[in-house]
Amino acid sequence: MSTEPDYSAEPAVKNLQEYLRIRSVHPNINYDECLDFLKRKAKELDLPVRVFELVPKKPVLVMTWEGLEPNETSILLNSHMDVVPVFEKSWSHPPFDAELVDGVIYGRGAQDMKSVAIIYLEAIRKLKNEGVRLKRTVHLSFVSEEEVGGGEGMGKFVESEHYKELNVGFALDEGIASATDEYLIYNGERSIWHIHVVCRGKSGHGSLLLPDNCGEKIRYIIDKFMDLRQQSKLALEQNPALTIGDVTSVNLTKLYGGIQENVIPEKMTATFDIRLALSVNLEEFENTIKDWCKEAGNGVTYEFTQKDTYVPPTTVDDSNPYWLAVKSALEKLEIPYRVLTFPGGTDSRYVREANTPALGLSPLRRVRPALHEHDESLPASVLLHAVDHYKEILTGVANV
């Protein structure tokens, strides 16, 4: 028999379960059920709500809690409605049933990031129930398409007049759960480059050693990128203070070409996922790629499917009053923290690119990170503690 408390009646738990049961899973998501759920939550909290559809069928919903000084710049709490696909047979609990088992909630989105959206809502519910009014207006944005890059979700939203009218001075978004007592806070992200390198050559019979061979060219290219990958691995091994966000990661993700075993193809293509460290000069790095292509031989070209620009990280020092408010709240709660560079990509990069300071913080600690994994889950106790912690954090930043 489980000795866990019965969390099933907790509003935060019930709301997270309901949200997780909505199959907002890629590909081809219908967001209507998410919108209906969020509109109901907004009504319960007496928060006005608007829906913007800058790209058809890819909505952004915004709730607003007006502050005592609405002319001041506002606070944005961002989350995304979409979740990544699942391999249902590999889950021990159905990924969209949101089962509560021995105090743990199982479901796709339990960490990434429907739980964080519920933490926002429940923190505001508690503050309102306590009669608290905050200085700055707080907007909650629920966006689409983050898990496929966010370009048609938050990317379009920050370019719109709707976003500008929110007058955002500071934003909070997702981070990553922490297995330790610490909260992990992310103030920047590496630039994402997805690149295809196409190697062309002479086609012919597979028994010959023809010149101008695309196989030789693609080997040269792969070696260059993998050498760079090895440099980053060694840097991490040799300096324990570094994290994956501090180095450039390189991964060969696709390799294709050819039509038949005994026919030398006229073209082979290698695709790389590159996340460039904040210390990398992007222009110089692209010039290096150009040089590699020239060195590989004639007919070697490259093209990008994603090419992020450099976005400066959010300042975390005494010049940023919002950072000081977050830091002060965590110190009051006696919660240790670390500031890191996010290893992947979130919607925060679009917000920072729009010149709004943003931090990534999923207030989930003492839990194993399980983003995109089978059996993604979250202990109910972690969720409930996070709500209380977020009350302090939100109060701090909204009263700056």
Q: Which of 64, 43, 41, 44 is nearest to 52 (CA)?
A: 64
Q: Which residues pair with 303 in a beta bridge?
A: 196
146 included as an active-site residue: yes
Question: Locate tokens 């110190």: which residue?
Answer: 331
Report DSSP state, residue 365: B
Is residue 144 within 8 A of residue 52, CB to CB? The reply is no
Question: Among the options 146, 147, 173, 392, which is catalytic?
Answer: 146
Quickly list DSSP for 138-149.
EEEEEES-GGGT
Is residue 326 within 8 A of residue 186, CB to CB? The reply is no
Question: Among the options 10, 82, 122, 174, which is catalytic?
Answer: 82
| Strand bridging mode 358-360 / 168-173 | parallel
88 included as an active-site residue: no
Q: Which of 153, 141, 152 is nearest to 116 (CA)?
A: 141
Please list the helix, strand and coil fractions of the chain in percent, rounded to the nearest 5, in that order: 35, 25, 40
Report DSSP state, residue 262: T
Own/partner long-range contacts of 69-72 (Cβ < 8 Å, ≥24 apart): 69/135, 69/136, 70/137, 72/135, 72/136, 72/137, 72/169
Q: Sheet with 377-379: list strands edge to edge.
A: 100-101, 104-106, 377-379
Q: Any idea of the CA torsion for 332, 169, 361, 25, to the nearest 10 degrees? A: 150
Q: Is 48 exposed, middle or buried (0-12, 13-18, 19+ CB in 10 A)?
A: exposed
Residue 231: CB partners within 8 Å, gap ≥ 6? none
Q: How far apart are CA 143 and CA 347, in angstroms?
A: 9
Q: How far apart are CA 28 and CA 43, in angstroms?
A: 28
DSSP-based three-state secondary structure for 310: coil
C-beta atoms surrounding 21 within 10 Å:
15
Q: How far apart are CA 86 and CA 372, in angstroms?
A: 8
Tell me which residues are annotated as active site.
Answer: 82, 146
